[in-house]
Chain A
Amino acid sequence: MMAYWFESPGEQDDIVISSRVRLARNFDTLYFPSMMDRSGALEIMRTVRGVLEQAGEAYTVLSIDGLSDADRLELVEQHLISPALMKQADGAVLISADKRISIMLNEEDHIRIQCILAGLRLKEAESSVMEVEKHLQKGIAFAFDEKLGYLTSCPTNVGTGMRASVMLHLPALTATGYITGLLKTVGEYGLTVRGLYGEGSHAVAHIYQLSNQVTLGLSESEITDKILSSARQIIGDEREARRLYMASDGRVELEDKLMRSYGVAANARRLTAGEFMSLLSDIKLALSLGLIDGLGHVTLHRLLIEAQPASLRKRAGRDLTLYERDVLRADVVRGALRH
């Protein structure tokens, strides 16, 4: 059994949590999901499975209606499926043996190929999804227009059908307020930044997603190049903001705050999701600044997933009350930090 992305180390993972590329494709012969009946959905499942089997690719197939609510939510928490797929009775997801690739079927588009990796590895994610797409091309004619490229349910995805993103932890840029200017700049560059829980949401735990806004008029590699060069710039700015902060009079105050958070997380008997997320951000920064020994970023990324509601429910093996969940979350966090 290979590791999930959140169980693996990655390049610059003190700041970059994950890199993700998603590709949207539709069958040329079928109506798009919002106009399609169940027989179309079943044909898609059958065809995609068949083509992948022929290519000798091993995938675990999970149909949405065969999963419990908790199992669906767990896949969302692991970023292997989208929240939108959860609501599709005819939806399904195919997960590769190495857990890097998930192929969502019958979501907003017929096919959404996703690759998610730890750290800054956008190019690797890009080539992985393109390779899967190439396999699928052998057995499926995709909806394509010579001028507009690959056709999708929503005009925001037309062309390459590609959405690429990196998840960044930017506490220093947030604290110093530089983040506001940054959000404006990337917008002018055809990119967009949003919080962990989607557009318009407050950036929980100072975690931001940087992704491309435009999918048409650029090649796939131009899209990932653009995000990578922006990400590198932002990472450099974050490091500089951290350095300045640590060189300022505020150093002791910052260290005190971060280490108190570490103390709370390592000892608390009850943690709400909101409190946990802000503690996690502080601990991640403390670790990056060299204030804590004997802990890896992978441990924190695992917690980011494993301390979420559905993952905790799975661990308990039964439904939990909010109170029980907060107690279990504190247990899991304490256990991980004390290793």
Chain B
Amino acid sequence: MILCDECKHNPATIHRTIISNGVKKEQRLCAVCAAQYGYSVSFPTSSINNILSGLFNIGQNKPEETPDRKCSRCGRSLDTIKKTGKIGCGACYRDFSEELEPVLRRVQGQMEHKGGIPETLSEEYKRNREIVRLKKELDEAVEREHYEQAAELRDRIAELKNETV
């Protein structure tokens, strides 16, 4: 392991060449000391983007170019998204849903949002979400043989379904 020239303690990860008055000098620095010279150390976003652009290509065994498409709203091309890992606008998620699905599945594992929702969303959407949640609880209750709890959950789901009609 090569140690940092500056602090002589941390492993050197950055190599820089300084030319001063025609004299070339090599310097090996660790992330902390390099930051002192204004070198930004690698930040997670850049490597995540590389991983993402890699993910787009998984499962595409056809090397030939598929025709590039553009988002109907913001005009960002699929190629740019693949290269940069950056989505152009909310509509990109819809327009490129087919291409994005395997990527999301790889990074996120799950595909169903379970967190907070905007207060302005329709009552129906909230109800449907609650039904999905209760159904999952019901499955778990049945699995654990908590039949009393399961019956309660079943009633609650039926109640919510009736409200929808």
- Do the beta carbons of A214 and B109 come within 8 Å of each other? yes
Q: How far is the CB of B67 from chain A (nearest CB, A)?
A: 21
Q: Which residues of B contact A273 (CB under 8 A)?
A: 6-7, 32-33, 35-36
Q: How far is the CB of B101 from chain A (nearest CB, A)?
A: 10
Interface Cβ pair total, 8 Å cutoff: 186
Q: Which secondary structure characterizes the binding site on chain B? A: loop
Q: Which residues of A contact B4 (CB under 8 A)?
A: 274
- Do the beta carbons of A201 and B31 come within 8 Å of each other? yes
Q: Which residues of A contact B40 (CB under 8 A)?
A: 83
Query: CA separation between A137 and B110, bound complex, in Å?
Result: 26
Q: Which stretch from B18-26, B85-93, B139-147, B149-157 is at the chain A interface? A: B85-93
B104 within 8 Å of A (CB atoms): yes
Query: CA separation between A143 and B40, bound complex, in Å?
Result: 32
Whether A32 touches B86, Cβ cut-off 8 Å, given contacts A148-B93, A200-B42, A275-B7, is yes
Whether A154 touches B111, Cβ cut-off 8 Å, given contacts A148-B93, A198-B44, A274-B33, is no
Query: CA separation between A130 and B119, bound complex, in Å?
Result: 13
- Do the beta carbons of A148 and B104 come within 8 Å of each other? yes
B41 within 8 Å of A (CB atoms): yes
In chain B, what residue has the closest Cβ to A213? B107
Q: How far is the CB of B36 from chain A (nearest CB, A)?
A: 5
- Indicate which residue in A32, A216, A218 contacts B87 across the interface (CB closer than 8 Å): A32
Q: How far is the CB of A111 from chain B (nearest CB, A)?
A: 14
* Chain A 242-272 interface residues, beta-carbon cutoff 8 Å to B: 272
- Do the beta carbons of B43 and A84 come within 8 Å of each other? yes
* Chain B 82-117 interface residues, beta-carbon cutoff 8 Å to A: 84-90, 93-94, 100, 103-104, 107-117
- Do the beta carbons of B108 and A214 come within 8 Å of each other? yes
A160 within 8 Å of B (CB atoms): yes
Q: Which residues of A contact B100 (CB under 8 A)?
A: 155
- Do the beta carbons of A137 and B118 come within 8 Å of each other? yes
Query: CA separation between A273 and B31, bound complex, in Å?
Result: 10
**Interface bracket on A:** 35 or more
Q: Which residues of A contact B48 (CB under 8 A)?
A: 154, 156, 199
Query: CA separation between A30 and B74, bound complex, in Å?
Result: 9
- Do the beta carbons of A204 and B87 come within 8 Å of each other? no
Query: CA separation between A192 and B45, bound complex, in Å?
Result: 14
- Do the beta carbons of A202 and B10 come within 8 Å of each other? yes
- Indicate which residue in B32, B112, B120 contacts A197 across the interface (CB closer than 8 Å): B32
- Do the beta carbons of A198 and B41 come within 8 Å of each other? yes
* Chain A 8-65 interface residues, beta-carbon cutoff 8 Å to B: 26, 28, 30-32, 34-35
- Do the beta carbons of A278 and B107 come within 8 Å of each other? no
A299 within 8 Å of B (CB atoms): no
- Do the beta carbons of B10 and A204 come within 8 Å of each other? yes
Q: Which residues of A contact B (CB under 8 A)?
A: 26, 28, 30-32, 34-35, 83-84, 108, 130, 133, 137, 141-156, 158-160, 162, 190, 194, 197-202, 204, 214-220, 222, 272-275, 277-278, 309, 322, 325
CB-based closest 8 A-B pairs: A274-B7, A217-B110, A149-B113, A160-B115, A143-B90, A199-B44, A216-B108, A35-B88
**18 contacts across the A-B interface (CB closer than 8 A):** A31-B88, A34-B84, A35-B76, A84-B45, A146-B125, A148-B93, A154-B48, A155-B52, A156-B107, A159-B113, A197-B35, A198-B44, A199-B47, A201-B41, A274-B9, A275-B7, A275-B8, A277-B10
